[in-house]
Structure formats: C-alpha cells, structure tokens
C-alpha cells in the first residue's frame, strides 16, 4: 500500500458505544414477541444490518418470519428515540482523539455504517459531523455489510482507491466488508 488515502470508521461499537442502546430496544422487541432477549441472540446479531439481524432474532425466538417487518420497524423507531436521549451516545475510548489527529493531518475520514441515517445523524451531532469528509448510512446503499458496497461507495465519494484506505471495524461482518472492498482492515473487537 502506498500513501494513506483515507480512513473509514464503522459506527456502532467501533466509534461509539451504541450496543447498550440497541440492547434496550432488542429486549423490548423480544418482550413484545413474548420472549426473552438472550446473550446468544446478541452475539448472533452483532455486525448485521437490521434487515438480517431481525430475522435472526425472530427465528431464535421461535416466531414466524411474518413478525420480521413489524419488529424491524419497532426497533428502528425505538432505537431512534433512545439515540436522541441526552448523554446516551458515548464515544469509545480513543476514538475522538484518533479522528481529531487524522483531521489535523488532512487525512480524509468516512463514517460507514449499516445503521440507517436517522440513527447516524444523532451520533454525528455528538461526535462532530465536521470530522468526516463522507458519511454512508445503511439505508443509502443497495447492499449492507458484509457486502463491500458501503466501503466502495465511501471510496468513490472521496475519489480514492479503496486499496489505499484503512477500515476500522469491530465486527466480523464489517471486517469482511472492508477486506472484500480491498481495504487494509483492522478489527477492534468491542464485545
């Protein structure tokens, strides 16, 4: 790899600790389905977008797939409410310092997430929208992680070669997307 063209950050778990927020909404969703949200469900769902995570949860709860759409809508609505509560969004240790250092050195950064825009925007308000040259939300691509499209889209928006970019991820699904995009990928597990 030659010079560094850009650094791509995942959001949930890597940049900010949103998993506890998601877990509250997931517990509520499971209860609505008459079940209990378990650590095994959480492990199975980590790194998936809502379109693949909810079917996993519904299936593990022994519910019919016809419950997926309503459950997904509940999770999105409830998570968006929770994300906007004061003090709930917390940056991971060292994340803001790294972003600031890259920004000061003129290295472009992108926030690339499977989370939808209505969840990304509250995070950007806390972290600082100005620290990112590009943002790519899960509802702005055709295929979410582990597909490489989100990272390829960020590289295209920046006009850089993905092979000259670094991806920072906390999940296997996201790391797979970074590798498939041709980016140097660093995994920083959060759970």
Looking at the fold, whether 158 and 100 belong to one and the same domain comes out as yes
Residue 1 lies in a domain: no
Write down the catalytic residue from 12, 17, 147, 170. Answer: 12
Find how far residue 17's CA is from the centre of its chain: 10
Contacts of 160 (CB under 8 A, 6+ apart): 5, 6, 108
Q: Tell me which residue range forms the domain holding 66.
A: 19-83
Would you say 104 and 97 are in contact if contact means Cβ atoms under 8 Å apart?
Answer: no
pLDDT in tens, 55-69: 999 999 999 999 999
170: annotated active-site residue: no
* 68 and 120 inside one domain: no
CA of 82: how far to CAs of 34, 78, 111, in Å?
22, 6, 20
pLDDT in tens, 123-152: 999 999 999 999 999 999 999 999 999 999
- Using a cut of 0.85, tell me whether the model's pTM lies above it: yes
User: What is the C-alpha to C-alpha distance for residues 91 and 131, in angstroms, rounded to an integer?
Assistant: 14
10 catalytic, yes or no? yes
């Amino acid at each position: 790899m030659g010079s560094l063209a850009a650094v791509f950050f995942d959001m949930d778990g890597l940049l900010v600790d949103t998993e506890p927020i998601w877990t509250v909404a997931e517990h509520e969703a499971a209860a609505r389905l008459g079940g209990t949200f378990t650590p095994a469900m959480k492990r199975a769902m980590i790194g998936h977008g809502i379109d693949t995570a909810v079917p996993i949860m519904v299936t593990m709860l022994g519910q019919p797939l016809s419950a997926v759409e309503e459950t997904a809508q509940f999770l999105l609505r409830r998570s968006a409410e929770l994300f906007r509560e004061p003090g709930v969004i917390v940056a991971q240790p060292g994340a803001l310092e790294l972003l600031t250092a890259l920004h000061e050195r003129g290295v472009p950064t992108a926030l690339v997430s499977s989370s939808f825009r209505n969840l990304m925007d509250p995070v950007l308000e806390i972290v600082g929208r100005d620290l990112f040259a590009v943002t790519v939300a899960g509802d702005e691509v055709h295929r979410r992680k582990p597909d490489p499209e989100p990272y390829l889209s960020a590289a295209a928006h920046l006009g850089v070669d993905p092979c000259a970019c670094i991806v920072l991820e906390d999940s296997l699904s996201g790391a797979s997307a970074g590798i498939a995009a041709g980016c140097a990928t660093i995994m920083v597990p959060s759970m």
